[in-house]
Amino acid sequence: MVILGLSRTRALSALLLAAALASVQARVVEEQIRVPVNVTNIKGDRIAQTIIVALFHDDAAPKPYPVLVLNHGRSYKASDRAAVRASSLSGPARWLAGFGFIVAVPIRVGYGATGGEDVEYSGPCNRKNYPPVYLAAASQTLSVINVMRQRPDVAKQDAVVMGQSFGGTTAITVASMNAPGVKAAINFAGGGGGNSDDRPQNPCAQASLEHLFADYGRTSRIPTLWVYSRNDMLFGPRLPRDWFAAFRAEGGVGEFEQFAEFGTNGHFLFTSGADLWEPRVQSFLTHLGYRPLAHH
C-alpha cells in the first residue's frame, strides 16, 4: 500500500510538472509584416503605400487562428502621430492573444514608422468631414485581414476588429461594412475631433459625429461593444451615450458600458486600466465563443 501511494504521488507530481512546463513553454510570439494598402483622403486623392503591422500570437493556441485587428488612436499633434508605436498596445495585444487570436496592430498611413501623408485629417474644426477618414482607416483594417487570411495558420472567415479612440470609431466603421467573416467589433472611447487641451469634453462637429454613428447603425448587423469612461476628457459623459443611441435607433446591434471616472482622463482607460475593462471584454468575447486558453 505504501508503494502504491508513492506511485500515485509520483504520477500526480509528473502530471503537475508536465502542466507547469506546458504553461512555461507556451509563449506569445511577436512578428512584423508589411501590408500594401490603398486609401483615399478627404480631397479624393488615392494613396498607395505599404504599412507596418505588428503581430502577436500564442504559439500554443490551436490553429487556424482567428484574426483580431487592434487599431491605435489619433492625436491632433503631428509629433504624437509620428511617435505612434505598436508597443503602446502590446499589453492588450498579448492579453487578447490569450484567447487564441493572432492579433494584428497596424501602424496606419501617416503614423509612426509607416509614415506618409496624413490621410486621416478630417478638415478644420468647423468643417469636419468624418466619413472619408474613417473609411480610410477601415479599408486598411480590411486589407490587413485579407492579407492575414492568406497565411495557412489563419482562419479564412473568423475575425474581430477592435480599437481605441479613432481606432474605436474605425471598429464601428468596419462593423457597418458587414465584411465577410468579421464577427464582432469592440469600440474603446471612439469618437472624433477631440482635443482635451483646448476643447475638453467638447469635440468638433458633434452633430456630424452623431449622424456618422446613425449612418453606421443603418447597415451594421454584427455584435458591437462600446466602452467609455465618464471622465473622458475628449468626449465627456453624455456624447458617447448619444452616439450609441443614434446607432441603435437606426438598427445597429450593440452593448454600451460606461465606467466611472478613471484617473484624470478616462480616455486612457484602455491603455492604463486593463484590470477594470478586461472582465467586461472577456464576457463579450466568451459569449461569441472566444475563450481564454487553458494555460492562461
User: How would residue 24 be classed by pLDDT, with cut points 50, 70 and 90?
Assistant: very low
Mean per-residue pLDDT of the chain: 93
Handedness of CA 264, 269, 275, 276 (dihedral sign): positive
Q: What is the mean pLDDT of residues 117-134?
A: 97
User: How would residue 197 be classed by pLDDT, with cut points 50, 70 and 90?
Assistant: very high
Whether the bond between 237 and the residue before it is cis, its omega within 30 degrees of 0, is no
Whether the bond between 240 and the residue before it is cis, its omega within 30 degrees of 0, is no
pLDDT of residue 255: 98
Distance of CA 293 to the CA centre of its chain: 20
| CATH architecture type of domain 27-287 | 3-Layer(aba) Sandwich (3.40)
The residue extents of the domains of the chain are 27-287
Give 68's DSSP letter. E
**Percent of the chain topping pLDDT 70:** 91
Q: What is the mean pLDDT of residues 220-229?
A: 98
pLDDT of residue 8: 52
List pLDDT tens digits, range 46-94.
999 999 999 999 999 999 999 999 999 999 999 999 999 999 999 999 9
Which is higher by pLDDT, 9 or 44? 44
pLDDT of residue 296: 72
pLDDT of residue 25: 54
8 Å CB contact between 267 and 229: yes
- Whether 143 has a pLDDT exceeding 90, the answer reads yes
CA dist list (Å): 111 to 5, 81, 144: 63, 5, 16
List pLDDT tens digits, range 148-177.
999 999 999 999 999 999 999 999 999 999
Which grid coordinates are listed for 119? 490621410
How far is it, in rounded angstroms, from Cα 69 to Cα 144? 8
8 Å CB contact between 265 and 232: yes
User: How would residue 23 be classed by pLDDT, with cut points 50, 70 and 90?
Assistant: very low
Q: CA neighbours within 13 Å on the CB side: how many for 70? A: 24
pTM, rounded to two decimals:
0.91
- Whether 210 has a pLDDT exceeding 70, the answer reads yes
8 Å CB contact between 151 and 66: no
- How many other CB atoms are found less than 10 A from the CB of residue 184? 22
Beta-carbon contacts of 294 under 8 Å, excluding residues fewer than 6 positions away, are none
